[in-house]
Each structure stands twice: as structure tokens, then as C-alpha cells.
A and B are shown apart, each in its own frame.
Chain A
């Protein structure tokens, strides 16, 4: 999975390209651990994400819990396939999806 990070002050955007699953979720977890210092607004751009598994959902949940304490988090540009997973799993109810 390609992970493109874009920081602008206290705003951080991660654009994910590929699959977020059990093999690639640790990559995102690591990137989040290294990057969230001083961040109050986190955005995930999922335009190029083709699939998210339960491991990927877990990574987003961990990020959401962190950002609930220090600011805000949102998801944007999720495609139809990703929205299906969010809806079926109930994650559409806890994530802010634009």
C-alpha cells in the first residue's frame, strides 16, 4: 500500500493507495504513531483505496479514538466498495465520512 502524507500546520492528511488489510495495516499504524504529535485535524483520503479489511478498520478506529481526545478526524473520497464495508460493519456510524 502506498501512503502519502501531507502536513499543513496542525492538519494532517493521509492518502491511501491500494489495500488496507492485515499485511499493510501495521504500516499505517506506524505512520500514525510517528505523525500525530501536534495534529488536531486528521483526514484520510481513500480515493485510491480498493479494499479495507477488519485489520484496516481497527487502524482507523485507533486513529479515531486518538483524535477524539485531541481534535477531529474525517474520511473523504471513499469509493463504493469501501463505503459498503463501512456500512455493513457499522463503521459508517462512528466515522465522519464526507
Chain B
């Protein structure tokens, strides 16, 4: 597919999908069972720079992938080793969340099917529902990848969330004490929001934490890989979130940061203890914050 042909294909596809295709949540069954799809079932994301005439694809990157795929096919290996992240569309097909260049390279190599991972993203409507249902005006926010998830060989881990076969799908392990911290935060009236660079389905994350007996209210994932230009819907979501919460606790590995809306003031509390004491200290800080708030 020549350069101009690719751009033409992309723009035509986007035009055809406009007003017809809408993102929907895929069931757990579909997310487990559907691991490959035909390239023609994948649709470029209009909010990605790949699809914008002013920016467009990087043909250098496409060529690099093409070379890699052809080399793999010559050696009888699977050419596309990492799944493309996609969102299910109604009435059919999938929207590319990331992997546009690999998709284009696969088409150039006449690769019929590519591996995919279906992700149920939090939509603006999901966020609105979360915020409307919540009775709280304070939230705790935590980085999934850097603060919660840990490698399987880490010393201080909670027990596995699931046994086989669910454990094949949910392979993440979590830091010791996270469920206890989340429980404390929920009992203290905080909505819990988690965020991550990589894509995770919101229902997978909720199911995962439910297995530990705790609840996560808001999930923001795929931040590093999402379309860089979804500014309109992001701005609306940010507005909704901003107007909801009067207080935020941002919890990272070393500190808890307490902020109170737009006045710009903040308090910082250090979690400077050995790892096995981390959640105990974090909970003690939350209790201290709540005690002070109760006195005001």
C-alpha cells in the first residue's frame, strides 16, 4: 500500500465510521476468547496523530515494522508478537487504541490477522456515572504501575487474587497492604482513583480489586498510549472531576500529598518506613488527616 493510498484508506475509513460506529464494552468472555482479528476489522482512531492529515503516519516506523515482520515470516515465526490494543465497536469491528503503525505494516505485508487485546476504556459517560453515583467529595489517587503492582518476585506481596484459570488473565501481583489501605480510604469516605500508563480494562481492574474485597471507583489507564489529541472529551472529563472533589490525597511510594481544590495549598506527609510497614504508615497518615479534619 503506497503512502498516499494508506492515508486515503485511513481517511475514508474514518469517514465511513463517523456517526455509525460507537465504542462499547466487550464481555469478559469476548475479551478472553478474542485474541486475533483480521486487519480489515480494525479501524484507525480519528483522534490519533496517525489519522490526521496534518501529522499522519511515520512511514519510517511503518517500514521498520514491515522489515521486522517480513524477517519473522521468513523464519516461520509469528510476525506481530505484541497485541494491538483495541476497543470494541458497535455494530462491528474494533477501534485501534494503539498499534496503528504495526497495523499499517501488517497490511503492507499482507498479514491477514493480527493479535489484539480488547480493552474496555472508561468513557466520558462512565466517568459521569461514577461521579454522579458517588456521595463523596474527597478522593484518593494512586499510580497502579508504580505504587500498587509489584513483580511476582517482590518480597512483600498480597496473596494472589485468583486461582487458575482466572489467574492466567489477571497475572498482576499487588503490594502488601494495598487492600487494607483501600479499605481504610473507603471507610473514611474517599473515592479511590487509580491511573496507569498502560491499558487495562476498567472492569478487569474492578474485578481484580473486588477479589481482595475492596472497591476502586475511578480508573484512568492507557494514558501513555492513548490518542494525544482527545482534548475535547478530556477537557469535559477534567471539568467533571474538578467540580466534584474538594479534597485529594495523592498517594505515592514516599509521600501522601493532601490538596484542597483550587487554593493551591498542599500538605505533604512522608511515608518513610521499611516496605513491610508501608501500608500501616499510610493508614496512620490517613487517620491523622481525618482527625485533623474532624477538629475543624
- A residues contacting B by CB (< 8 A) are 19, 21-22, 50-51, 53-55, 57-58, 61, 79-81, 83-85, 87-94
Contacts and interface: CB of A to CB of B under 8 A. Distances in A.
B134 interface: no
A22 B245 CA distance: 27
B252 A55 contact: yes
A90 B248 contact: yes
A29 B242 CA distance: 29
Nearest to B147: A54
A30 to B, nearest CB: 17
A84 B122 CA distance: 12
Interface in B211-256: 218, 220, 223-224, 226-231, 234-235, 237-238, 241-242, 245, 248, 250, 252-255
Interface residues on B, range: 35 or more
B228 A54 contact: no
Given A22-B146, A61-B257, A91 B250 contact: yes
A94 B252 contact: no
A61 B269 CA distance: 13
A83 B261 CA distance: 15
Most chain B C-beta atoms within 10 Å of own C-beta, residue among A50, A61, A93: A93
Given A19-B197, A92-B238, A79 B250 contact: no
B170 interface: no
A83 B234 contact: yes
A96 to B, nearest CB: 8
B264 interface: yes
A59 B253 CA distance: 13
B216 to A, nearest CB: 13
B209 interface: no
B248 A51 contact: no
B241 A57 contact: no
Nearest to A82: B223
Most chain B C-beta atoms within 10 Å of own C-beta, residue among A80, A81, A90: A90
B121 to A, nearest CB: 12
A51 B268 CA distance: 23
B143 A84 contact: no
Contacts of A19: 197, 224
Contact of B143 (A50, A54, A61): A54
Given A87-B241, A89-B248, 16 more contacts: A21-B197, A50-B224, A51-B197, A55-B253, A57-B252, A58-B252, A80-B231, A80-B234, A81-B234, A85-B195, A89-B141, A90-B257, A93-B261, A93-B262, A94-B264, A94-B266
Contacts of B226: 81
B193 interface: yes
Nearest to B231: A80
Contact of A81 (B141, B142, B193, B224): B224
Contacts of B218: 88
B105 to A, nearest CB: 21
A81 B254 contact: no
Contacts of B223: 51, 81, 84-85
Nearest to A19: B224
Most chain A C-beta atoms within 10 Å of own C-beta, residue among B223, B235, B242, B266: B223
Contact of B252 (A54, A79, A83, A92): A54
A81 B238 contact: no
Contact of A55 (B146, B229, B230, B263): B146
A54 B253 contact: yes
A51 B259 contact: no
B146 A21 contact: yes
